[in-house]
Amino acid sequence: MFQTEYEFTLPLGYVDEHGNLHREGVMRLATAADEILPLKDPRVQKNPAYLIVILLSRVVTRLGGIEAITPHSIEQLFAADLSHLQSLYNQINQVNGAQPAATCPQCQHTFASEPLALGGS
């Protein structure tokens, strides 16, 4: 069966406004709209690094007992947790892990290129 949701555990955890720690969550595969619509957001247009915040707020469907994941929720994550989610996003949204190859124009040697990291990781 085709997997569209992935469970994760944050390294540190999200601390909500009541001091509760949330570490377990679920991220779904991104859709075309998830990657296109945030580009229209004024916060992303003003600061492209904000793209990952908007993206994660769209694809993280559960984080502990948090009802709705918002950009503000993602902003409150510790840097290690943001990095963890960004890596997971990049990992699960690659098609079969295939990356385009790069060829040296001088020697014609072919290299596997690095995966694109969304949001600047």
The token duo for 74 is 């993602």
State the residue range of the domain holding 84: 5-112
Sign of CA dihedral 2, 5, 9, 10: positive
Q: Tens place of pLDDT for every residue, the chain, 121 residues?
A: 889 999 999 999 999 999 999 999 999 999 999 999 999 999 999 999 999 999 999 999 999 999 899 999 999 999 999 999 999 999 999 855 555 566 777 787 776 655 545 554 4
- The SS3 assignment for 16 reads coil
Residue 121 maps to a domain: no
**Number of domains comprising the chain:** 1
CA angle 97, 28, 44 (to 5 degrees): 90
Q: Is the pTM of this model over 0.75?
A: yes
Quick one: pLDDT at residue 104?
A: 75
Residue 96 maps to a domain: yes
Quick one: pLDDT at residue 71?
A: 97
Residue 120 maps to a domain: no
Residue 20 maps to a domain: yes
Quick one: pLDDT at residue 121?
A: 43
Residue 23 maps to a domain: yes
Residue 119 maps to a domain: no
Residue 117 maps to a domain: no
